[in-house]
């Protein structure tokens, strides 16, 4: 059923009495107004101002096709028309992204009580999208290293094409690389939506703020959580249900949590973290270390460490899951 939202008509019809829709619509309006009044947002703009999850889903689909045209592009694509497809697809995707960036900038300005001209916002949005577009070739090269790492790290993988088409960890890292680029360019809401699209599809939850080096491989992946301020080096491999999380959450005097503080682990190059491990706090996992399955770790470990449940109990007897 399609309703023209721009036309005020009696959409309740003769069945309204069966569902008491008049009363429900009025109560929903009252609930919306209460929420807006509590947050000082009693005067909403005439049109929806927030970015669209559906629009971003289409943008990311097109960007994936432009990055990997013969594997993630349309079935009928031929190599001789690759460049035309990539150019046409990028033009459409970036123009749509421009609109979404403008929406976030406008929303952010209103939230902060700033007065920014439409021309200034449009210029800022164009700069952001231009920089994002310029980063795509480098991002593709990093993703090639990620895909190769997945192929080499899984004996069940038959080809890099299988890895790209099938592996949830690869899908999640493609989304993350795109989301992280948006995050660094100052549109964190768009970045978070892109990250949550991947989370919904794969069960892998990577905050777009996490800084992840190349050659990153998530095997299986379900239940992986990587926090906003995590820093991950080169050639790191993690397995399902691994958490790189925060241990404590400092609060302001009024009880509100402090935002943006470094609170997630630093994982150096060539580390392997096996399934179910929980690594918490701003600690460092030294280069070349191995963290065994189901380990609970809240202390830094030096390079070359091999931490199992038994060794963890011996090294840090005071640590216990909470």
Residue 248: predicted pLDDT:
83
Q: 286 pLDDT exceeds 50?
A: yes
Q: 138 pLDDT exceeds 70?
A: yes
Residue 112: predicted pLDDT:
84
Q: 192 pLDDT exceeds 90?
A: yes
Q: Which of 281, 310, 286 is nearest to 297 (CA)?
A: 281
Across the chain, what does the average pLDDT equal?
90
CA atoms of 234 and 217, how far apart (whole Å): 10
Residue 45: predicted pLDDT:
58
User: What residues contact 8, with CB distance under 8 A and at least 6 apart?
Assistant: none
pLDDT digits (tens, 9 = 90+) for 59-117: 999 999 999 999 999 999 999 999 999 999 999 999 999 999 999 999 998 888 888 88
Q: What is the pTM of this model?
A: 0.87
**Quick one: average pLDDT of 305-313?**
83
- Note whether 200 and 168 are within 8 A (CB): no
User: What residues contact 73, with CB distance under 8 A and at least 6 apart?
Assistant: 65, 66, 85, 89
Residue 6: predicted pLDDT:
55
Residue 104: predicted pLDDT:
95
Sorting pLDDT into bands at 50, 70 and 90, what band is 313?
low
- Note whether 237 and 273 are within 8 A (CB): yes
Q: How many CB atoms lie within 10 A of CB 201?
A: 13
């Amino acid at each position: 059923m399609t309703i023209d939202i721009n036309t005020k008509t009696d959409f309740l019809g003769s069945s309204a009495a069966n569902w008491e829709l008049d009363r429900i619509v009025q109560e929903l309006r009252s609930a919306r107004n209460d929420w807006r009044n509590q947050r000082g947002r009693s005067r909403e703009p005439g049109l929806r101002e927030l970015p669209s999850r559906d629009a971003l889903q289409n943008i990311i689909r097109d960007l994936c096709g432009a990055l990997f045209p013969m594997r993630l592009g349309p079935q009928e694509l031929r190599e001789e028309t690759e460049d035309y497809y990539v150019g046409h697809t990028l033009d459409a995707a970036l123009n749509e992204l421009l609109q979404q960036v403008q929406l976030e900038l406008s929303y952010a300005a209103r939230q902060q009580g700033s007065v920014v001209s439409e021309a200034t916002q449009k210029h800022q949005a164009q700069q952001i999208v231009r920089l994002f577009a310029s980063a795509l070739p480098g991002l593709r090269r990093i993703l090639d290293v990620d895909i190769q790492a997945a192929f080499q790290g899984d004996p069940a993988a038959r080809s890099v094409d299988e890895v790209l088409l099938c592996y949830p960890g690869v899908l999640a890292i493609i989304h993350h690389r795109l989301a992280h680029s948006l995050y660094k360019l100052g549109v964190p809401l768009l970045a978070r939506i892109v990250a949550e699209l991947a989370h919904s599809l794969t069960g892998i939850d990577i905050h777009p703020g996490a800084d992840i080096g190349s050659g990153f491989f998530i095997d299986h992946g379900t239940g992986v959580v990587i926090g906003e301020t995590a820093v991950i080096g080169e050639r790191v491999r993690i397995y399902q249900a691994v958490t790189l999380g925060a241990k404590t959450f400092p609060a302001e005097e009024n009880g509100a949590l402090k935002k943006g503080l470094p609170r997630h682990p630093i994982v150096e190059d060539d580390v392997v973290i096996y399934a179910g491990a929980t690594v918490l706090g701003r600690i460092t996992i030294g280069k070349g270390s191995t963290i065994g399955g189901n380990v609970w770790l809240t202390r830094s470990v030096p390079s070359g460490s091999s931490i199992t449940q038994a060794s963890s109990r011996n090294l840090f007897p005071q640590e216990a899951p909470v």
